[in-house]
């Protein structure tokens, strides 16, 4: 069948997925699936602190460089993920990074990493998941190591450092749990909007918001509230990327065909609604084949223990109904 990539190129959209760089060359079937289906890639883990920073004074860019070489060979863009997050920190982090030196570590990391890839990336997730309504803070910020050591200014410091190190990349704030019409999602979406407004008001260089879109079948549907949010970002001059789309089907019972149909409906309805907005310019799934989805991990696994069918290709790399739904939505 015609690929996601072919449809996206006709539509003037970016469509792609998160990948594991060594598989691109190490597993030919995986490499050709990714080459055929995507015009934009992102590293699932290879450009996080933990992967790049074996020790406080060493950087290891092998995974990221391999990804960029593959993308260049196949005419694909690459997103950087991510420069600042409360997870995937190296084991040496706690104990080495302190209140006194945290700002220096963050800025030096961004200068070095965004500097290394400068001019080659479509966008960077500069700050990932900084909002947490459960923190109880008036500003909605998550109580993360960065917040505790630097204070709320760490976000703008990160964006300024990223702009300086790579003026060409679109600088993105990326978060999850802001998609649907349930109360938790509405609250968090409001806090993300507050954060973005504060950043814009202070002249912080931000170009886009990433809506992760780890969706769950049978949760409240994303709807008008999300579209209002996307449009408000548009009025502020910001693009929106769907950065980590997948459809967790752990609440769906029934046959494989029924599960696949439910997942496909969610892909179709969600992506159709989002790409109708002119400032939604990229759609990336979090992986491409069910063989490697992160959703079989503990909290997100199906209660019956069956592997998740949450991505456009099944574990034999065959297109499932979600593939056709996504393709036809773009």
Active-site positions? 129, 244
Omega before 136 within 30 of 0, i.e. cis: no
Of 212, 213, 281, 308, the residue at the interface with ligand XIL (CB under 6 A) is: 212
Nearest residue (CB) to ligand XIL, 4 versus 46: 46
- Of 28, 60, 23, the C-alpha closest to 41 is 23
Name the minimum Å distance from CB 176 to ligand XIL.
Answer: 6
Q: Six-digit token pair at 136?
A: 């109880």
Q: Is 316 exposed, middle or buried (0-12, 13-18, 19+ CB in 10 A)?
A: exposed
Whole-number Å distance between alpha carbons of 181 and 221? 6
Nearest residue (CB) to ligand XIL, 62 versus 99: 62
Residues 162-191 that bind ligand XIL (CB under 6 A): 176
**Contact, 146 vs 102, CB < 8 A?**
yes
- Per-residue contact flags (x/-) with ligand XIL for residues 127 to 156, judged by CB under 6 A: -x----------------------------
What is the CA angle 96-101-106, rounded to 5? 90
- Under the binding rule (CB under 6 A), the answer on residue 308 touching ligand XIL is no
By beta carbon distance, the residue nearest ligand XIL is 294
Count the residues of the shown chain that bind ligand XIL, applying the rule CB under 6 A: 7
Q: Count Cα atoms within 13 angstroms, Cβ side, for 131.
A: 25
Residues 77-116 that bind ligand XIL (CB under 6 A): none
Q: Name beta bridge partners: 239.
A: 208
Of 116, 294, 317, 324, the residue at the interface with ligand XIL (CB under 6 A) is: 294
Nearest residue (CB) to ligand XIL, 7 versus 170: 170
Nearest residue (CB) to ligand XIL, 179 versus 244: 244
Name the minimum Å distance from CB 324 to ligand XIL.
Answer: 24
Nearest residue (CB) to ligand XIL, 132 versus 327: 132
- Per-residue DSSP letter, 30: H
- Per-residue contact flags (x/-) with ligand XIL for residues 18 to 37, judged by CB under 6 A: --------------------
Residues 112-131 that bind ligand XIL (CB under 6 A): 128
- Per-residue DSSP letter, 17: E
CB atoms within 10 A of CB 255: 8
Name the minimum Å distance from CB 261 to ligand XIL.
Answer: 25
- Under the binding rule (CB under 6 A), the answer on residue 45 touching ligand XIL is yes
Q: Is 242 exposed, middle or buried (0-12, 13-18, 19+ CB in 10 A)?
A: buried
Name the minimum Å distance from CB 300 to ligand XIL.
Answer: 10
Of 44, 179, 246, 314, the residue at the interface with ligand XIL (CB under 6 A) is: 44
- Of 241, 263, 270, the C-alpha closest to 329 is 270
Whole-number Å distance between alpha carbons of 148 and 8? 42
Name the minimum Å distance from CB 11 to ligand XIL.
Answer: 26
Helix (H, G, I), strand (E, B) or coil at 210: strand
**Interface with ligand XIL (CB under 6 A):** 44-45, 128, 176, 212, 244, 294
């Amino acid at each position: 069948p015609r690929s996601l990539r072919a449809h996206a190129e006709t539509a003037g959209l970016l469509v792609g997925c998160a990948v594991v760089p060594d598989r691109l060359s190490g597993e030919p079937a995986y490499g050709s699936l990714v080459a055929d289906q995507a015009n934009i890639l992102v590293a699932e883990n290879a450009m996080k602190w933990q992967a790049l920073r074996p020790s406080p004074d060493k950087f290891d860019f092998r995974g990221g460089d391999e990804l960029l070489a593959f993308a260049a060979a196949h005419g694909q863009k690459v997103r950087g993920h991510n420069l600042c997050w409360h997870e995937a920190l190296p084991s040496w982090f706690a104990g080495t990074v302190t209140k006194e030196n945290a700002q220096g570590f963050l800025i030096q990391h961004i200068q070095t990493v965004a500097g290394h890839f400068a001019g080659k990336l479509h966008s960077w997730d500069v700050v990932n998941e900084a909002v947490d309504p459960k923190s109880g803070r008036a500003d909605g910020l998550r109580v993360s190591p960065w917040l505790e050591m630097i204070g709320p200014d760490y976000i703008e410091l990160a964006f300024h450092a990223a702009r300086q190190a790579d003026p060409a990349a679109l600088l993105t704030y990326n978060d999850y749990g802001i998609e649907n019409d349930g109360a938790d999602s509405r609250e968090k979406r409001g806090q993300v909007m507050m954060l973005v407004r504060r950043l814009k008001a202070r002249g912080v260089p931000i170009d886009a918001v990433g809506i992760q879109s780890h969706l769950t079948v049978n949760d409240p549907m994303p709807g008008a509230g999300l579209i209002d949010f996307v449009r408000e970002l548009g009025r502020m001059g910001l693009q929106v990327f769907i950065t980590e789309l997948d459809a967790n089907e752990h609440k769906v019972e029934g046959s494989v065909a029924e599960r696949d149909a439910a997942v496909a409906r969610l892909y179709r309805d969600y992506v159709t609604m989002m790409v109708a907005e002119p400032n939604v310019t990229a759609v990336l799934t979090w992986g491409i084949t069910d063989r490697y989805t992160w959703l079989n991990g503990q909290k997100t696994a199906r209660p019956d223990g069956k592997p998740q069918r949450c991505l456009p290709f099944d574990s034999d790399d065959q297109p499932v109904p979600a593939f056709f739904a996504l393709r036809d939505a773009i």
